[in-house]
Structure formats: structure tokens, C-alpha cells
């Protein structure tokens, strides 16, 4: 009985991934907003989004070293 219900839930999640992820993110954001406040939640969202965007670029360790050296080098 429980296994059948779990199988049905997993099939629904597999067929409706965007709905499930959207609902899960909405729930997580609401819990964070209630527990730690709006501005701290927004800060977490901004940092997470920035990390995701930066992580999606295909850069290597040498590119990071070069960028850091460029920031701190004398002109």
C-alpha cells in the first residue's frame, strides 16, 4: 500500500519536474523569509544565483589566478 503510493508520487514528480521544483523553491523561500527575515533571504538568493551563474562558466584555475593577479597588479 505505502509502496504503491510512493511509486505514484515518484511518477508524478518525474512527469512534473518543473512544478515540483517550483513548489519546493517557493516553500523554501517562504520558510527562510519567516524564520530569518526578508533581507537575509534575499541576500541568500542573490549569493546563490551569483554562485550558480559563475559556476556555469567553463573557466579553469589558471583563468581565476590570472583574474586575481590582474585585479591586484600595479598599472
Encode pLDDT of 4-42 as tens digits: 999 999 999 999 999 999 999 999 999 999 999 999 999
Q: Could you give the CA distance from residue 43 to residue 49 in angstroms, rounded to a whole number? A: 10
Residue 2 pLDDT > 80, yes or no? yes
Cα radius of gyration rounded to whole Å, the chain = 20
- For 36-67, give the DSSP string: H-HHHHHHHHHHHHHHHHHHHS---HHHHHHH
pLDDT at 62: 80
Residue 48 CB partners (closer than 8 Å, separation 6+): none
Q: At CA 63, angle to CA 62 and CA 69, rounded to 5? A: 85
Is the pTM higher than 0.85? The answer reads no
Amino acid at each position: 500500500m505505502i509502496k504503491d503510493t510512493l511509486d505514484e508520487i515518484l511518477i508524478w514528480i518525474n512527469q512534473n519536474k518543473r512544478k515540483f521544483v517550483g513548489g519546493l523553491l517557493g516553500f523554501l523561500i517562504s520558510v527562510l523569509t519567516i524564520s530569518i527575515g526578508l533581507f537575509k533571504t534575499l541576500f541568500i538568493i542573490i549569493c546563490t544565483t551569483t554562485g550558480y551563474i559563475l559556476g556555469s562558466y567553463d573557466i579553469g584555475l589558471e583563468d581565476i589566478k590570472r583574474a586575481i593577479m590582474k585585479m591586484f597588479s600595479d598599472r
